[in-house]
């Protein structure tokens, strides 16, 4: 391991997380010495949450940039600050600590930091497009670049969408492999000799399939979406760098969609990972399963890098804006263009075609999700307009429709994911049989979302009889996914090591051997009970001795195969 220095990202404070503009740490320019003075003026301004900071030598510390002339803050910017010296001791004026145990025992150190008038050179302001001159004059970024500045943030959010795919993929792999091995419940419980009928693999149970195939489908859906957004971003950046300023017009929508996708994908994945854990019954409660640790370590992603609700509401604001634009007769570009669509006519599921996973059926589902996103966005905008018309200010009006806004983001993301999967999957998967299996899984995933969120479709595009048709079709599809389920997990390509040597998810299926082996490694497991010295004084020794005289090991049955 070699490094020039280790750095932490120190933005969040004890008193402010989501409200980045409200951060209190100050960086005040001192023209006399050409330095910034980094200072934590209050307890609540202490940096709180920077990942890995305890073991870092440096941090980018986000502060209100003050020019020291009494003028208001020029905004929040990062400053490069050294935390530790060559001996690992804290630098003068710096206090760094560890915040304590978190939900996940596997979580790395997360720190706090406080700065008492720490002076750093002017050049330690980390900003490409803004400047503070030697005389202390502030030069803002050119307006054109202000939209461009979000690209770094978007890249991180797309990484988190891909992370959500990885979490779902690993959880589904572990739980589906285990469910293919685990047998529980008689094949014919009504038979005179039920024992002789044999037991069913738990993967053959309907509810188990629904839960696990949803996680598997989500893994692929999020994988394709992550890929599609990365390539869209790359294309925009390349065009902007080639001098096509107009390409940057797509950025606000991309920014809103990336925020929404981060919120939706991490929330969805956290729920699905935990559900995969529950699907393994008691074994999923064992840490050796790998699922318990995955669930507790993954859940932090919902909050880190932008709290889910706060990001979803940013997307909701963008949707409201897009609807207003469409209503003014202006063109709406990008993924929210659906706000200008005509309503989709009522659907007849039977007419989508009878080949599972066909492009006609997937196309119909993408259209259905698109129309749901449109309708829900329009309703959100109507409610928001009514709230402002009643006299509420912008923030109060937005808050009054926040629940609808959260939901509108979910609908927007479902459509974006469906659209991205529809275009990415055929391009990426060349093998016909693999494509057919994936298309079936994709159709199942999109259709089960329709079933689960039936209320959004009922009365608009699907009537009661059509909702019943959706239910039946979803059931048929999950039965079709079943034979390929393990192979679809295998093709995600997670090695046993990447699955944390999960006892349940191992590729060779030797789950019981692995569970027993892991249990045996407990330091408690010997013949003599650990703690006997302390506990034995309260036990009736005469009773134990009498029992030991009547119980023995015999040779009636053949020895167990272990």
Ligand X SMILES: Cc1cc2nc3c(=O)[nH]c(=O)nc-3n(C[C@H](O)[C@H](O)[C@H](O)COP(=O)(O)OP(=O)(O)OC[C@H]3O[C@@H](n4cnc5c(N)ncnc54)[C@H](O)[C@@H]3O)c2cc1C
Q: Which residues bind ligand X (CB under 6 A)?
A: 9-12, 17-18, 49-51, 110, 300, 303-304, 307, 309-310, 313
The minimum distance between CB 198 and ligand X, in angstroms, equals 46
Residues 51 and 9 sit within 8 Å (Cβ to Cβ): yes
The minimum distance between CB 120 and ligand X, in angstroms, equals 18
Tell me the C-alpha distance between 102 and 454, whole Å: 37
Give whole-number Cα distances, 286 to 218, 282, 296, 515, in Å. 24, 7, 13, 9
Which CB, 47 or 182, lies closer to ligand X?
Answer: 47
Residues 332 and 325 sit within 8 Å (Cβ to Cβ): yes
Residues 257 and 334 sit within 8 Å (Cβ to Cβ): yes
Chain centroid, CA 150 distance in Å: 20
Which CB, 313 or 429, lies closer to ligand X?
Answer: 313
Which CB, 110 or 172, lies closer to ligand X?
Answer: 110
The minimum distance between CB 304 and ligand X, in angstroms, equals 4
Residues 447 and 438 sit within 8 Å (Cβ to Cβ): no
Residue nearest to ligand X (CB): 17
The minimum distance between CB 359 and ligand X, in angstroms, equals 39
Tell me the C-alpha distance between 503 and 480, whole Å: 28
Q: What DSSP line would sit under 90-158, residue for residue? A: BPTTEEEEE----S-TT---EEEEEESSEEEEGGGEE-SS-EE-TT--EEPPPHHHHHHTTHHHHHHHH
Tell me the C-alpha distance between 220 and 441, whole Å: 9
Which CB, 177 or 407, lies closer to ligand X?
Answer: 407
Residues 4 and 45 sit within 8 Å (Cβ to Cβ): no
Residues 109 and 54 sit within 8 Å (Cβ to Cβ): yes
The minimum distance between CB 261 and ligand X, in angstroms, equals 17
The minimum distance between CB 126 and ligand X, in angstroms, equals 14
Here the contacts of 464-471 (C-beta below 8 Å, separation 24 or greater) are: 466/346, 466/347, 466/348, 466/349, 469/349, 469/350, 470/349
The minimum distance between CB 256 and ligand X, in angstroms, equals 16
CB atoms within 10 A of CB 485: 22
SS (H, E, C) 11-41: CCECCCCCCHHHCCCEEEEECCCCEEEEECC
Residues 6+ apart with CB under 8 A from 198: 183, 186, 187
First to last CA, the chain: 42
Which CB, 396 or 519, lies closer to ligand X?
Answer: 396
Chain centroid, CA 450 distance in Å: 21
> How is residue 343 annotated by DSSP?
P
Which CB, 99 or 434, lies closer to ligand X?
Answer: 99
Which CB, 413 or 514, lies closer to ligand X?
Answer: 413
- Clarify whether 135 is annotated catalytic: no
Residues 438 and 421 sit within 8 Å (Cβ to Cβ): no
Which CB, 51 or 475, lies closer to ligand X?
Answer: 51
The minimum distance between CB 58 and ligand X, in angstroms, equals 13
Catalytic residue among 24, 305, 410, 443: 305
Residues taking part in catalysis: 305
């Amino acid at each position: 391991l070699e490094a020039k220095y280790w750095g932490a990202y120190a933005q969040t404070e004890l008193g402010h997380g989501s409200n980045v503009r409200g951060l209190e740490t100050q960086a005040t320019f001192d023209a006399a010495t050409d330095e910034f003075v980094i200072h934590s003026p209050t307890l609540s301004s202490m940096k709180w949450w920077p990942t890995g900071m305890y073991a870092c030598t440096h941090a980018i510390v986000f502060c209100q940039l003050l020019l020291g002339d009494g003028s208001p803050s020029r905004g929040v910017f990062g400053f490069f600050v050294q935390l530790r010296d060559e001996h690992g001791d804290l630098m003068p004026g710096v206090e760094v600590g560890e915040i304590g145990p978190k939900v996940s025992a596997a979580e790395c150190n997360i720190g706090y930091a406080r700065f008492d008038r720490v002076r750093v050179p002017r050049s330690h302001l980390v900003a490409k497009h803004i400047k503070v001159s030697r005389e202390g004059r502030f030069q803002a970024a050119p307006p054109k670049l202000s939209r461009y500045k979000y690209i770094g943030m978007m890249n991180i959010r797309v990484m988190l969408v891909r992370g959500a795919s990885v979490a779902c993929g690993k959880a589904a792999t572990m739980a589906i492999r285990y469910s293919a091995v685990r047998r529980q419940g008689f094949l014919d419980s009504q038979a005179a000799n039920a024992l002789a009928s044999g037991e069913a693999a738990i993967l053959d149970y309907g509810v188990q399939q629904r839960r696990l195939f949803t996680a598997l489908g989500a893994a692929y859906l999020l994988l394709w979406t992550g890929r599609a957004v990365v390539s869209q971003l790359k294309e925009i950046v390349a065009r902007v760098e080639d001098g096509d300023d107009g390409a940057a017009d797509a950025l606000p929508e991309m920014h809103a969609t990336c925020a929404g996708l981060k919120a939706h994908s991490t929330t969805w994945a956290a729920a699905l990972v935990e559900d995969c854990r529950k699907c393994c019954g008691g074994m999923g409660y064992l840490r050796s399963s790998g699922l318990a640790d995955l669930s507790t370590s993954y859940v932090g992603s919902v909050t880190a890098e932008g709290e889910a609700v706060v990001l979803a509401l940013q997307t909701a604001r963008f949707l409201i804006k897009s609807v207003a634009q469409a209503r003014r007769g202006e063109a709406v570009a990008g993924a929210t263009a659906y706000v200008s669509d005509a309503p989709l006519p009522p659907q007849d599921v039977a007419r989508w075609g009878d080949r599972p996973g066909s492009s006609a059926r997937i196309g119909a589902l993408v259209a259905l999700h698109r129309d749901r996103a449109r309708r829900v966005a329009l309703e959100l905008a109507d409610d928001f307009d009514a709230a402002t018309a009643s006299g509420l200010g912008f923030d109060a009006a937005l808050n009054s429709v926040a629940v609808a806004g959260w939901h509108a983001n979910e609908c927007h993301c479902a459509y974006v994911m469906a659209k991205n999967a529809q275009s990415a999957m055929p391009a990426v998967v060349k093998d016909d049989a693999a494509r057919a299996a994936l298309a079936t899984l994709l159709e199942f995933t999109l259709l089960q979302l329709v079933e689960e969120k039936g209320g959004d479709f009922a009365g608009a595009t699907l009537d009661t009889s059509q909702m019943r048709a959706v239910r039946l079709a979803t059931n048929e599809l999950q039965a079709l996914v079943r034979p390929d389920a393990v192979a679809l997990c295998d093709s995600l390509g997670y090695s046993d090591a990447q699955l944390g040597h999960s006892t349940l998810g191992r590729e060779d299926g030797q789950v019981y051997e692995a569970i027993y082996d892991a249990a045996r490694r407990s330091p408690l497991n010997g013949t003599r009970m650990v703690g006997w010295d302390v506990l034995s004084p309260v036990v009736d020794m005469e009773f134990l001795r009498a029992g030991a005289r009547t119980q023995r090991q015999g040779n009636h049955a053949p020895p167990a195969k272990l």
